[in-house]
Amino acid sequence: MSNALEYRGYTSTVEFSAEDRCFHGKIAGIRDLVAYDGTTVDELEKNFHSAVDEYLAFCKEEGKAPDKPFKGSLNIRIPSELHRTLAIRAEQQHKSLNSVIAEQLASHAVQSTGGFTKKREAIRTAPKATKASRRKAG
């Protein structure tokens, strides 16, 4: 069971409002706010598709590049000891720090949610270690 819709590379959250007696959602993973609603699942899905299409048309009219959800770039802050541990593991495995972190996140996502089905692809497409990145990891 999923409470998300997908269309043209965009994913949406979906919630139900008992007070309003309707479903509502918004596009996830972008800075712009694109929201929609519907009283039935079919209407909700139709309005989601329309919202995405209208958002892309608006961006084109304005000469603005539409936000791309989940670009694959993530800036996180972690304790220095964890950073050190991961960097040493990456060095020992002759991998980039990004690859080690991507593998750990993918493994955790599969175990905790069961919803991440592209684990192998995520690991396969993680940035490859270069000699320079391996030197920097330590």
- Structural contact between residues 137 and 100, judged by C-beta atoms closer than 8 angstroms: no
Give Cα 46 to chain centroid, integer Å: 23
10 burial (CB, 10 Å; 0-12 / 13-18 / 19+) is buried
Give the three-class secondary structure for 102.
helix
- What confidence score (pLDDT) does residue 14 get? 92
In tens digits, the chain (138 residues) has pLDDT values of 677 899 999 999 899 999 999 999 999 989 999 999 999 999 999 999 999 999 999 999 999 999 988 777 888 899 999 999 999 999 999 999 999 999 998 888 877 666 554 444 444 444 444 444 444 444
Distance CA 78, CA 42 (A): 43
What are φ and ψ of residue 13, in 5° steps?
-85, 150
